Chains A and B, each alone.
Chain A
Amino acid sequence: GENVEQHPSTLSVQEGDSAVIKCTYSDSASNYFPWYKQELGKGPQLIIDIRSNVGEKKDQRIAVTLNKTAKHFSLHITETQPEDSAVYFCAASTGTASKLTFGTGTRLQVTL
Chain B
Amino acid sequence: DAGITQSPRHKVTETGTPVTLRCHQTENHRYMYWYRQDPGHGLRLIHYSYGVKDTDKGEVSDGYSVSRSKTEDFLLTLESATSSQTSVYFCAISEGTSREQYFGPGTRLTVT
| Chain A bound to chain B | yes
Does B48 contact A34, Cβ atoms closer than 8 Å?
A: no
Q: Which of B33, B40, B96, B101 has the most CB of A within 10 A?
A: B101
Does B99 contact A93, Cβ atoms closer than 8 Å?
A: yes
* B contacts with A, residue count (CB < 8 A): 25
Does A100 contact B105, Cβ atoms closer than 8 Å?
A: no
Does A97 contact B43, Cβ atoms closer than 8 Å?
A: no
Does A44 contact B56, Cβ atoms closer than 8 Å?
A: no
Q: Is B70 interfacial (CB-CB < 8 Å)?
A: no
With A43-B1, A43-B90, A43-B106 as given contacts, are A98 and B101 in contact (CB-CB < 8 Å)? yes
Chain B residues 53 to 112 lying within 8 A of chain A, measured CB to CB, are 56, 58-59, 90, 94, 96, 99-106
- Majority DSSP secondary structure for residues of B touching A: strand
Does A100 contact B104, Cβ atoms closer than 8 Å?
A: no
For B42, the chain A residues whose CB sits under 8 A away are 4, 6, 89, 102-105
For B33, the chain A residues whose CB sits under 8 A away are 99-100
* B40 contact from A91, A95, A104, Cβ within 8 A: A104
* A44 contact from B31, B50, B90, B99, Cβ within 8 A: B90
**Looking at chain A, what size class is its interface with the partner chain?**
20 to 34
Does B31 contact A98, Cβ atoms closer than 8 Å?
A: yes
CB distance from B3 to the nearest CB of A (A): 13
**What is the chain A residue whose CB lies nearest that of B40?**
A104
For A104, the chain B residues whose CB sits under 8 A away are 40-42
Q: Is A14 interfacial (CB-CB < 8 Å)?
A: no
Q: Is B45 interfacial (CB-CB < 8 Å)?
A: yes
C-alpha gap A23/B33 in the complex (Å):
23
Which B residues contact A (CB, under 8 angstroms)? 1, 31, 33, 40-45, 48, 50, 56, 58-59, 90, 94, 96, 99-106
6 sampled A-B residue pairs with Cβ under 8 A: A32-B99, A89-B43, A97-B50, A100-B101, A103-B42, A104-B42
Which A residues contact B (CB, under 8 angstroms)? 1, 4, 6, 32, 34, 36, 42-46, 49, 51, 89, 91, 93, 95, 97-105
